[in-house]
Structure 1
Amino acid sequence: MGGTIFLGNYLGQWLDTKFSTDYLETTITLLSIFVSMYLVISQVLKMSKEDD
């Protein structure tokens, strides 16, 4: 989860520098947080279904 967020932040910083913007870092970081949360929740649900 932390790696996904870190890579999203790093990608956003790089894109902000490349395109001289100031919003891509925040946008991509938030998107990576939501993606990470989705992946963790889906894994937990999958694991709980296997226990039943």
Structure 2
Amino acid sequence: MDQQKPPKKKNTGLQNAAALSGVGIQMGLTIYLGNLLGSWLDSTFETGYLEITITLLAIFLSMYSMIRQVNNLNK
């Protein structure tokens, strides 16, 4: 026979807020570092498109990370 699993504990709103409190800082830092990397690469290789490209990539990466954290929290 299958054993019954104990029910999962529900996270309260305060626990969710604490778990997601660093998401804004993480997003901002990821985007800022992507921008710094892109500007450094632009000045090193004398191009004009790497800063914008890497900054946009950092934005999408940070959004993906945030969505993934929220989905894991809701499971």
TM-score range, shorter chain: over 0.9
User: Within 1, Cα distance between the matches of 2:74 and 2:30?
Assistant: 23
Q: What's the secondary structure of 1:22's corresponding residue?
A: coil
* 1:11 to partner: Cα distance: 0.1
- TM, length-normalised to structure 1: 0.93
> Which structure dedicates a bigger proportion of its chain to helix?
1
Higher relative contact order (CA 8 A, sep 6+): 1
Which of 22, 28, 34 is 1:8 aligned to? Answer: 34
Name the counterpart of 1:26: 52
Structure 1 stretches of 4+ with a deviation exceeding 6 A read none
Structure 2: segments with no counterpart, 5+ residues: 1-26
CA RMSD in angstroms, aligned pairs only: 0.2
Give the aligned length: 49
- TM, length-normalised to structure 2: 0.65
Q: Which has the larger radius of gyration?
A: 2
Structure 1: segments with no counterpart, 5+ residues: none
User: CA deviation digits over 1:1-52, x for unaligned, max 9?
Assistant: 0000000000000000000000000000000000000000000000011xxx
